[in-house]
Amino acid sequence: MRLRAWLALLLLIAAALAAMPVFMYGEQTVPLPQARRDLLSTAQEVLLTHPAFALEANGAAMRRAYLFYVRRLSARLSEPLTSTALLEDEDLVLDWLKDPHTNLAQAWSPLSSTDLLPVGFYWTQGGLVAYRVAGSPGGIETGDRVLAIGGVPTRDLLSRLRRFYSGNVPWLQTLADTFLPYGNTLAWLGLEHDGRVDLSFERSSGERFSLRVALRPIGLSSYESYELGHALFLARYVAPPGLMRRLGDSFYAWRVTPDYGIYWLVACQDTSGFEHSVSAFFSAVKKAHVGDVVIDLQENMGGDADVAFAFLRHLPLQAGYQDLQSAQSPDEIFRGKVYVLVNGATMSSGVQVAEYLTEAGDGVLAGSPAGLASAAWGEVQYFETPDGRMDYQVSSMWIPAVDGRVTPTLRPSIALPLTVEDVREGRNPLAAWLGHLPSPVAPCT
């Protein structure tokens, strides 16, 4: 029962791991007419849906360049063509715009691989580290720095990944965390040979070692082991202390201590009870007379940005933003310090909510750089290819920055990076920072 609870929590925290692998690529061949029809159909939906092609300045030129690119992709297809190869070309058709929201649906991503490395990865400030999962080779320990995968130095992995996925560096690092253990990703990036992957590590002592690890077929036990390992890693090094186990079936959890209040939102979902929980949180903050509130959006990959208004109802709005919330009650306003936490897995509407809370609500941004620019394409629409039946999504509008300033990422003024040393020494930087917040005051009237 405890294992199932942890797995449920992980599905809420790491949305990129939400789809069980059910499709098998490479075992089927695709007729060329079908493959070309699928690619051109996808391109046509992108042209009709994505607003970049409707721009007055260079929209017509973009259309011509895009169609030329897709037709070249289509023309170079040859038989025998596997469904894996078609998947790759579909990905390249969607990735042309370099829009992180225009991509293949998760079920058609490398997550649908049929094999898996028995080791997890996480990108820290000092580089990629490994963490053990059940069945990991004995030579690998949590906190070992990853020097190379498949003979490719870790510094070069993101440039390879960029061919298939778009986004800023923090987001690509998050994708690497998620996708690198999967067989399809390793094969696409040229890191796997005959079902085996060469891994090179450096221990805390400076000792370096290498080993060849076999991919394992994804069965229920190996997939659960990987998910549980990821959940345990997040709980120890990333998540707010003690809150992960409180998530239950919700996307949120909160706690008020004598020194601060912390609200953790792992997805922007206006679920039943969400707004009430925010009100209950601020009521508890007022009752405890604490002066610091932390709204944690780490690992929040998006959803509906309107969830920000549930928080703004309790925060003093800055000049120019009073129209965002007309239903405020003066005795419900928190007048202490508000901190907003983000990291590389804060994506999509999670970034927009962070902007609302720091610009309209005058919160202070803390953590590590977010996984999306302050303005981006979004509001996706969903489609399916006619023959391959691959699901994909395409942005349908431009989401401007809340303050009008376009930046490649949200860069916190208070840096709380996870380092290799943190992992090796079992430290959660968020926990350490929370322990040093100023002593409590009585901000509420």
Query: For position 197, which CATH number holds?
Result: 2.30.42.10
Residue 4 lies in a domain: no
Number of domains in the chain: 3
The answer to whether residues 134 and 203 belong to one domain is yes
Same-domain pairing of 414 and 362: yes
What confidence score (pLDDT) does residue 112 get?
Answer: 54
With respect to residue 42, please indicate whether it lies within any of the assigned structural domains: yes
Q: Does residue 147 sit in the same domain as residue 231?
A: yes
* Predicted pLDDT of residue 439: 54
Domain extent at residue 264: 241-373+408-434
Q: Report yes or no on 445 lying in a domain.
A: no
Is there a single domain that holds both residue 86 and residue 189? no
Q: Are residues 271 and 344 in the same domain?
A: yes
* Residue 249 and residue 222 share a domain: no
pLDDT in the model for residue 82: 83
Is residue 403 a part of any domain in this protein? Answer: no
Domain boundary among 212, 236, 260: 236
The CATH number of whichever domain residue 329 belongs to comes to 3.90.226.10
pLDDT in tens, 216-244: 887 666 778 888 888 899 999 999 988 88
User: Phi-psi region for residue 329, left (φ > 0), alpha (ψ -120 to 50) or beta?
Assistant: beta
Residues 311 and 430 both lie in one domain? yes
- Please indicate, yes or no, whether residues 134 and 245 belong to a single structural domain of this protein: no
d(CA 261, CA 255): 6
Q: Domain of 81: which CATH number? A: 3.30.750.44
Q: Which of 217, 236, 255 is the last residue of a domain?
A: 236
pLDDT in tens, 126-182: 999 999 988 888 889 999 999 999 999 998 999 988 888 889 999 999 999 888 998
**pLDDT value of position 206:** 94
Asked if 334 and 425 sit in the same domain, the reply is yes
**Are 351 and 384 within one domain?**
no
Same domain, 351 and 430: yes
Residue 14 in domain? no
The verdict on residue 412 lying in a domain is yes
Can you list the residues of the chain whose pLDDT is less than 50? Answer: 1-9, 11-26, 110-111, 442-445
- pLDDT the model gives residue 20: 33
359 located within any domain: yes
Same-domain pairing of 385 and 417? no
